[in-house]
Amino acid sequence: MERGRRPEDIMVDVSTQLFWDNRINDSNINIEVSGSRVILTGTVPSSTDRWEAEEDAYSIPGVSYVENRLRVNPAAYPEPNDLEIRSRVENVLDWNPTIDTSRIEVQAHDGVVILKGFVDTYWQKTRAWEIASNVSGVREVINELKVKPPEEITDEDIENDIKRAFARTRYVDTDRVDVSVENGIVTLKGTVGDYYAYRTVQEIANYTSGVIEVHNRLVIE
C-alpha cells in the first residue's frame, strides 16, 4: 500500500472514483477520510451499489481500510411486500445450480431477509447471501445459515490445504499471513500489501473443503 498520502487527496480520489463509476448512484453517499481509513455513510439503492462503492474506495492508493456504513434504501417502485420478497429470494436461490436449497429456509420482515437452515460449504453460505442481496426490494440479508460439511476434514488438513493453495497463487505474498484452524473455523491474521491480496487470501480460505467459517483479521499495510 502507498503510505503517507494526505487524507484530502484520498478524499478527492474516492469521490471522483464514485462519480466516475457509471454503475453507482452516488448522490446520497458521504465520504469521510481519517488517516488512511475511508468511511462511507448515507444510502444507495441496492446492495450491489453498496459493495461496488466499497471496492471503488479500496482501489484508491493509500487506502488501508473502508468502513462501509452505507444503507440500502430500495428504489423499487412499487415496493414488493414481504411475501413477494420471500418468494423471489426462494426462487433465485432455487434456480442457482451451485446451491442445494433443500435445507434452506427464507424469512422476510420489512424488506430484511433472514436465511436459516443448513448448507454443505462455507462458500455456499456466502453465495446464498450474495444472491439474496441482489433481489430488488431487499434492504438487508441476515445470514444465519449453518455449514455442515458432508464429510469431516481435520483442522490440520484444512490448514495444509490452504497453505498449499497460497503457495500456488501468484497474486499474494503470504509470508506475513498467519492461518489457524479450530473446529473448521479459519482465522486469518497478519498483514498483506493491498486490498487484492486481502481479498485473494480470504477467497482461498472460503473455497477450501471442510471450512465452516472464515474470520479475516488481516491488516492492509
What residues line the site for another protein (CB under 8 A)? 1-2, 13, 16-17, 20-23, 45-46, 48-49, 58-63, 74-76, 88, 91-92, 94-98, 121, 123, 134-137, 161, 164-165, 168-171, 173, 193-196, 207-209, 211
Q: Residue 135 burial by CB count (10 A; 0-12/13-18/19+): exposed, middle or buried?
A: buried
In the complex, the smallest distance separating the C-beta of residue 88 from another protein, rounded to whole angstroms, is 5
The least CB distance from residue 167 to another protein, in Å, is: 9
CA–CA dist 184, 159 (Å, integer)? 9
Taking CA atoms, 47 is separated from 1, 51, 54, 220, in Å, by 27, 6, 11, 24
Question: Least distance (Å) from another protein to the CB of residue 5?
Answer: 10
From the CB of 215, what's the least distance to another protein, in Å? 18
State the nearest-atom distance from the C-beta of 39 to another protein, in Å: 18
Q: Please say which residue, 202 or 208, places its beta carbon nearer to another protein.
A: 208
Report helix, strand or coil for 82.
helix
Closest CA to 62 of 172, 203, 193, 202: 193
Q: Which is nearer to another protein, 170 or 217 (CB)?
A: 170
- CA-to-CA separations, 77 to 3, 4, 28, 89, 107, in angstroms, rounded: 45, 45, 18, 18, 21
Q: Which residues pair with 162 in a beta bridge?
A: none
Q: Least distance to another protein from the beta carbon of 100, Å?
A: 11
Residue 58: burial class (beta carbons within 10 Å; 0-12, 13-18, 19+):
buried
Report yes or no: 186 and 200 within 8 Å, Cβ to Cβ: no
Instruction: Give the separation between CA 217 and CA 132, rounded to whole angstroms.
Output: 25
